[in-house]
Amino acid sequence: MKNIVIVGGGLAGLSAAIHLASEGHQVKVFEKNEHFGGKMKSIDLGSYHFDFGPNTITMPQVFIETIKKAGLNPADYISFKKIEHHTRNVFPDGFVFDLSSSSSFMKEQLKKLDPKGSSRYPEFLKKIESLYTLSHKYFLHRTFESFRDYLSPSLGRALLKVRPNQTMHDFFHTYFENPKTIQALDRYATYIGSNPYVAPATFAMIAYLELVEGVYYVEGGNTKIADAFVQAALHLGVELFGHKMVSRIETSGGEASGVYLESGEFIHADEIIINGDLLKAYPNLVKEEDRPSFTNKRVREYEPSISGFVILAGLDGKMEQLHHHHLFFSNNYKKEFTQLQNGEYPGDPTIYICTSSKSDPTVSPNGDNCFILVNAPATGKDRVPIDPEAYKEVIYKKLERFGLSIREKIQVEKIYTPEDLRVDFGAFRGSIYGPAANKKKDAFLRPFNRSQDIKNVWFAGGSTHPGGGSPMVVLSGQNVARAIHNKHS
């Protein structure tokens, strides 16, 4: 039995805690915020419930298995509901294209819009399935602890097969011809905070998750997943400390002995997992001289993933035309990503609205609960801060052009900027997913799951392997927990 300290109670931290405690280890989780779940955060404004963070849930089995690991019955805590025709895409000319996990529905819809896409749809599904299968086999269920981990020949072969040299956009273009179809699929790059015109085609596997396995919603709100993880951790005897900021990791001779809390209290640890965004937390917690492999210069070289500008808007009554997941695309997607990469807020942003009350009226009985998200640039010293109220107007005006007069119906409203993400969740430059997966190097060589300089410090979460997104970070926590347990067995 080892004493494990986890810095941060996001989904990855909780997942690691559950898996380690289930193997008999003594686990303490220190979270700077009051709530556990990190970016998966429940926000209630009056009678309106919002799921901050993960609104689109895929890979439900990952969450279910984690709760089972604690010996609990997942059905007592969460109930997943599949949304078959899950995402409505609306284009500037008013054209509507729905994404669905029903392949016959997709083929039928594509017949008119994209005849090439319709006839090649089965082939496309096979290809994205093979991308997913390769990722599943070689990347998702393991830690990457050093460069040695990249040297296995089978991994090398797998890396070549996952189309690292083709961009997502070009990959979709080989199967589809209508720019609208391609734009709807290109959006999957934003699920990893990236740009479809540069992100490797490997990430087209996200399309497999949505178009084959399906999009899910948790009754009562997706944040029930975080609540269930908290219950699972407590059930196993994990000690959860909210409102406890870890300020330093004590190291000597390449080994950590524990952590100091902001209060000055020292907590001994045999192993430490950093779940906070590693690009921000690791440099904050460990003196630069003690991490020669991860200098401040190296941290600055990482390109952050894109961030988000979020409006939570509770409406008086319902807007019948809104779907649970609804997108209003920009005229020029490429320009939007170029602006984001240059640190600018797009003048014509693609707007995503999640209104979970469409599937579950209990979460917002008095009207629609619109979680409005547009891609935003990460923060930076050289970047001009946005006037949130003015940018909100850009968004509302655009929605009006699509016939959606949200402004008149607003009962409650709250805005979150990239700066809020930076401060609230300790996110590197306010990015949602840590390092961007734009460059091939950053996509496949994310920061390792283990410190190269301090032998008992580990990393779990969106900025390390296998990557960002709620199911991925849960796998990250699980993989690191397994590696630590194996080290001591």
Ligand X SMILES: Cc1cc2nc3c(=O)[nH]c(=O)nc-3n(C[C@H](O)[C@H](O)[C@H](O)COP(=O)(O)OP(=O)(O)OC[C@H]3O[C@@H](n4cnc5c(N)ncnc54)[C@H](O)[C@@H]3O)c2cc1C
Residue ranges binding ligand X (CB under 6 A): 7-13, 30-33, 38-40, 53-56, 245-246, 275-277, 281, 308, 310, 373, 421, 425-426, 432-433, 461-462, 468-470, 473
d(C-alpha 113, C-alpha 406), whole Å = 30
Q: How far is the CB of 278 from ligand X (least distance, A)?
A: 9
Q: How far is the CB of 36 from ligand X (least distance, A)?
A: 8
Q: How far is the CB of 436 from ligand X (least distance, A)?
A: 13
Closer to ligand X by Cβ: residue 110 or 269? 269
Q: Are strands 215-218 and 239-241 parallel, antiparallel or unpaired?
A: unpaired
Q: How far is the CB of 432 from ligand X (least distance, A)?
A: 4
Closer to ligand X by Cβ: residue 228 or 421? 421
Q: How far is the CB of 462 from ligand X (least distance, A)?
A: 4
d(C-alpha 307, C-alpha 260), whole Å = 30
Q: How far is the CB of 354 from ligand X (least distance, A)?
A: 8
Q: How far is the CB of 310 from ligand X (least distance, A)?
A: 5
Closer to ligand X by Cβ: residue 117 or 304? 304
Q: How far is the CB of 259 from ligand X (least distance, A)?
A: 9
Q: How far is the CB of 421 from ligand X (least distance, A)?
A: 6
Confirm if 442 and 435 have CB atoms less than 8 A apart.
Answer: yes
Closer to ligand X by Cβ: residue 109 or 222? 222
Q: How far is the CB of 178 from ligand X (least distance, A)?
A: 25
Closer to ligand X by Cβ: residue 107 or 248? 248
Burial 152-187 (b: 16+ CB within 10 A, else e): eeebeebbeebbeeebbbebbbebbebebbbbbbbb
**Among candidate residues 275, 479, 463, 486, the one with its CA nearest the CA of residue 378:** 463
Q: How many CB atoms lie within 10 A of CB 58?
A: 21
CA 399 to chain centre: 25
Closer to ligand X by Cβ: residue 373 or 484? 373
Q: How many CB atoms lie within 10 A of CB 321?
A: 11
Phi, psi for residue 387 in degrees, rounded to 5: -90, 105
The H-or-E segment that residue 231 falls in is: helix 224-235
Closer to ligand X by Cβ: residue 110 or 249? 249
Residue 212, CA distances (Å) to 106, 277, 477 in order:
11, 31, 25
Confirm if 90 and 329 have CB atoms less than 8 A apart.
Answer: yes
d(C-alpha 367, C-alpha 443), whole Å = 41
Q: How far is the CB of 369 from ligand X (least distance, A)?
A: 15
Q: Are strands 96-100 and 85-90 parallel, antiparallel or unpaired?
A: antiparallel
Closer to ligand X by Cβ: residue 131 or 272? 272
Closer to ligand X by Cβ: residue 60 or 117? 60
Half-sphere exposure of 253 (CA within 13 A, CB side): 1
Close Cβ partners of 219 (under 8 Å, ≥ 6 residues apart): 78, 79, 81, 360, 362
Closer to ligand X by Cβ: residue 16 or 168? 16
Which structure tokens are listed for 135? 């990722």
Q: How far is the CB of 15 from ligand X (least distance, A)?
A: 8
Which structure tokens are listed for 130? 């093979």
Closer to ligand X by Cβ: residue 229 or 396? 229
Q: How many CB atoms lie within 10 A of CB 10?
A: 34
**Among candidate residues 388, 417, 409, 396, the one with its CA nearest the CA of residue 351:** 396
Phi, psi for residue 353 in degrees, rounded to 5: -125, 125
Which structure tokens are listed for 55? 């609104």
d(C-alpha 451, C-alpha 348), whole Å = 41
Closer to ligand X by Cβ: residue 120 or 224? 224
Confirm if 120 and 106 have CB atoms less than 8 A apart.
Answer: no
Q: How many CB atoms lie within 10 A of CB 82?
A: 13
Confirm if 369 and 314 have CB atoms less than 8 A apart.
Answer: yes
Q: How far is the CB of 304 from ligand X (least distance, A)?
A: 13
Closer to ligand X by Cβ: residue 117 or 477? 477
